[in-house]
Amino acid sequence: MLTTATIKSFYHSYISLPWRSLVHLRFDSVLCSEIYTALQSCTSLDTLKAHGIVEDNAFVGDATLHHQLKSLTLKSERYEGDCRECCRIFNSLRIPELRTLKIKLTSSRPATVGHRFDIYPCISQSRCQLSELSIEGASLKEQIFLDCLRLLPSLSTLRLSNNAWLDAQPRPIVLGPSFLIFILATDPAQPPILPNLKALTFEESWVGFSAKLLVDLLASRWDDSGVGLHRWTNWEICGTSAKMTRRHLRSGDSGGMISGLKGGNPR
């Protein structure tokens, strides 16, 4: 029985395959609308990877429920300038068992408010509990994204790379300290928003806070006993005149471009 397939540059509906038996499916170069119809056809799908997504403005459909899907990867065509169709299709999905979500719209940070992508409708309606979330090359509304994180206490891995950040208008903004305080800070009267977070990657974003704030937040989160933070196996902060290893720290600017923040606490 066929359980795994890779389809390159074809309409999947034109191919005769036992779609209902597929567990793993990968598209290389695919129209947005094909992702939606594939999920309707492949009712046993556990993993879907769609690379080279091309906007086709042909999506017509209602919300669709998929009970099995656990891992979803969406990567746009390299030169695609818009992702509205892809966002609409994603938010038409109801995927309660989803555990891994990876979205890559472009390899560089959007220069304007293009590449806007809002995952909140799908996450809130699906009531899924992600363990891994990765978003790259998107324009994200800060408050809506933070509201989404509130729904994901199960999250253990968070990767945010080359993203632009917007206010409610939407207008481009520089991320203030409240963003990381929300994600990382702890309070004796309130448990952390992401209590299971073990790995964080945050890079290539314009920020208005110092590297020292990052270190202080991490220390308050994982070094209560005095032994937590130094046990992080690998740590690097770049782009704000700060670099931290397990033995030393230098801090400088009060803001600028965070080009790399990676870390993970012991499992």
Express each pLDDT in 229-263 by its tens digit: 444 434 444 444 333 333 333 333 444 444 455 55
State which amino acid sits at residue 2.
L
Express each pLDDT in 146-161 by its tens digit: 999 999 999 999 999 9
CB 86 within 8 A of CB 50: no
* Top-confidence residue, 185 or 167: 167
CB 199 within 8 A of CB 158: yes
Express each pLDDT in 93-142 by its tens digit: 999 999 999 999 887 777 666 678 899 999 999 999 999 999 999 999 99
Q: What are 205's strand-pairing partners?
A: 258
Q: What's the whole-model pTM score?
A: 0.83
The answer on pLDDT for 87 being more than 70 is yes
| Bond before 195 cis per omega within 30 degrees | no
Q: In sequence order, what E strands does 61-178 have? A: 64-65, 71-76, 93-94, 100-104, 132-136, 139-141, 157-161, 164-166, 172-173
Using 50, 70 and 90 to split pLDDT, how confident is the model at 266?
A: very low
Residue 72, phi then psi, degrees to nearest 5: -135, 125
User: What sections of 118-228 are H helices per DSSP?
Assistant: 120-126, 142-150, 177-184, 211-222
